[in-house]
Structure 1
């Protein structure tokens, strides 16, 4: 069991959110109480990886955090000669991810790398997962990163992309934010925690609208893009090359 997330429970000078050791300690609790349907998303990403993985190819988990998606993909893989490459730029996350993965036996090779996904070598890929990762990349660098992913994918390969969305207009955005805050209240977060977390993350996580995501994926060349999950302002989609 992870520790309970109480990082923003006391009044403080709020700094920009980072995936540091303090966050690593409470991350599973934070995610479960903050992202509606997170367990469903993770388990389904594993099933999609199992469906689209190709023999003798690489599967990438970009922004792997503690390795939940890597584990889910590994559990669902039956194809021959596959390797999973998990990458994160948080040293604390990578260390814990390696320990986490060692706790589960598997014949599928996994390498967990500390690095910036903007510089990562991507090749011979049949599946690339980015589970709530793109939203932390500078907006002006997203198109180039997704293009590199597209170019690294084999024909028939997939990008599995989960993101927090911004509403298409202010009215819709406010509605989605209100629903999400209600979800967090129902999971025991106080008004102070909700407010301080929002302040901490607003400079770090810049969300796109669903329209922006779909247009960009289409422009890059993905032949099919489908939203398979959405709850409030959280969404997961599959894009097929």
Structure 2
């Protein structure tokens, strides 16, 4: 029998009722419990990005190197990379500062057998040492860091990559032109409405995010890549105001 999606227990209804005091968004137990639904209904192309990360990993992972998933949440990118790896002596290090996310990510990892070991770390990605890396993934993570900390993290990643190593940065974009930004932002809101979010949910979530998520323009990302030392970089996927960028050392 087909289950009515409205009654599914894991549907994102966090902002469905009016809230007098809207707290800053955090990746707590409540968010973790509905995270897959929240992401799929909020980020156009998310599934394609995750699949693409695995596909890229299959092509660039070098034997006996380390792969990093920084801000791994439930481990979607980690699982995608691991599925595309054979027994190459690689190791994945997945980091998130939410203990609730790490706990659920471990459950997901336990459900699949793989020769590639994964180390799950609950911690601040700014404190992680990057060494002997052939791939580093920041999948919708950088936008949650204070803007003043972003360049130093990209520079540290560049130094920890082996020659030919790849950095993937997936982000929501801010556009330089006000008219262009409003047009594409409005199209994204229509995407959320089409996925069942109400005006109340959209408004309250935007308020919750405004102090904790600060998107950059594509030009700002490219500038950071260049300053860190990358000479080849480009967007490899974009849907509306969401993109995934690739930089190669």
Shorter-chain TM-score bucket reads over 0.9
Corresponding residue SS for 2:126: coil
Corresponding residue SS for 2:125: coil
Q: Report whether the alignment pairs 1:78 with 2:77.
A: no
| 1:87-145 superposed Cα distances (whole Å, 9 cap, x missing partner) | 00001000110111101111110111100000012111000000000000100000000
Aligned residues: 241
Corresponding residue SS for 1:227: strand
Corresponding residue SS for 1:118: helix
> 5+ unaligned residues in a row in structure 1: which ranges?
none
Q: Report whether the alignment pairs 1:5 with 2:29.
A: no
Matches of 1:107 and 1:231 in 2, distance apart?
Answer: 34
Contact 1:54–1:79 (8 Å) recurs in 2: no
Contact 2:87–2:115 (8 Å) recurs in 1: no
TM-superposed deviation, 1:78: 2.6
Report the equivalent of 1:115. 123
TM-superposed deviation, 1:27: 0.1
TM-superposed deviation, 1:199: 0.3
TM-score (norm 1): 0.98
Corresponding residue SS for 2:18: coil
| 1:178-235 superposed Cα distances (whole Å, 9 cap, x missing partner) | 0110000000000000000000001000010011111111121112101111111100
Contact 2:87–2:116 (8 Å) recurs in 1: no
> 5+ unaligned residues in a row in structure 2: which ranges?
1-7
Specify which of 173, 177, 180 is matched with residue 181 of structure 2: 173
| 1:41-69 superposed Cα distances (whole Å, 9 cap, x missing partner) | 00000110111101110000000000000
Task: Return structure 1 stretches of 4+ with deviation > 2 angstroms.
Answer: none
Corresponding residue SS for 1:49: helix
Matches of 1:160 and 1:65 in 2, distance apart?
Answer: 16
Q: Report whether the alignment pairs 1:156 with 2:164.
A: yes
